[in-house]
Amino acid sequence: MSLNKTPLKQKTESSSADFYLNNGYGTVLVPQNNIFFSEVNISEIEATAPYTVYEENGNIRSCYGIHLVNTYNNWKAILLEAEKFIKEILKDDIYIHQSKINYKESIPTAVWPWHRDFPFWKNYDNIPVSKMINVIVFLDNVYENSGPVQVIPGSHKHFFEEELAQAKAEFNELSGSVSSDLDFELPLTKVKSLASANGIFSLCGAIGDISLFHPDVIHQSSPGTDDNKRRLMIITYNACSNRPVNPSVRPQYFASSDYTPI
């Protein structure tokens, strides 16, 4: 199966704080730096990441805790613009709560079912409110059929009855945070009906582009194609005023306790 290689361009219309706050996703306009990306050594990060998750076919699904390894220092510069924008949106200082590279295979288990991210951070990491932002840095050109992250615009303001009624969930095992059998998966019929009202938007981008998505926005991703490469660096920032009220039940590489402002 060949990829739909529609030319990718940065999305100026989605690059304002208002757009992000209304839609739950957005873009950070950055100069494309292909030289940087051709020089950056992803295999070094893969080799040293504190925690790696594999797909059934033996290929990598995710590397967690990448901001904790030395080579990450070579990457920091590409995030400066995004970090400035996030501080403006959150009106606060920020620190890194979680970091990872997510990959995408073409096999059926290479999915992330419909979910929001904040329930993990609230229930397991004890973070009070969703004053957080996810940044995606595209490490490959990501097209509509690469298995992009897909969001339902505006869903960060819409919660289902069963979610509002939910008591605090106990942590069971780490696989529920990282696999296709994901904790906090949302009811499909309700998601589908919200998606038919609000639409679905795919976070596609060219190598070096940067997207943002809200911790409460409903999102998923499907398997990619046979010749897929879809590596996304995803960094989750938390506002410094929103530190966990208790230590996380998950390891450091899922929930950092280094609250040093960036």
Interface with ligand SIN by CB under 6 A: which residues?
102, 112, 117, 149, 219, 221, 232
Q: Which does 232 bind (CB under 5 to 8 A by kind): ligand SIN, Mn ion, none?
A: ligand SIN
Please identify, using beta-carbon distances, which residue of 109 and 241 lies nearer to ligand SIN.
109
C-alpha torsion 17→18→22→26, nearest 10: -40
Contact in structure between 62 and 231 (CB atoms under 8 Å): no
**From the centroid of its chain, how far is CA 72?**
17
Please identify, using beta-carbon distances, which residue of 75 and 112 lies nearer to ligand SIN.
112
Contact in structure between 211 and 25 (CB atoms under 8 Å): yes
- Taken in order 93, 184, 233, 42, the sign of the CA dihedral is positive
83, 117, 125, 216: residue in contact with Mn ion (rule CB under 5 A): 117
Please identify, using beta-carbon distances, which residue of 63 and 232 lies nearer to ligand SIN.
232
Q: Which does 194 bind (CB under 5 to 8 A by kind): Mn ion, ligand SIN, none?
A: none
Q: Name the minimum Å distance from CB 41 to ligand SIN.
A: 21
Query: 83 CB contacts (<8 Å, ≥6 apart)?
Result: 94, 237, 262
Contact in structure between 147 and 55 (CB atoms under 8 Å): no
Q: Which does 140 bind (CB under 5 to 8 A by kind): Mn ion, ligand SIN, none?
A: none
125 lies in the binding site for Mn ion (CB under 5 A): no
Q: Name the minimum Å distance from CB 69 to Mn ion.
A: 22
Residues lying near Mn ion in the complex (CB under 5 A) are found at 117
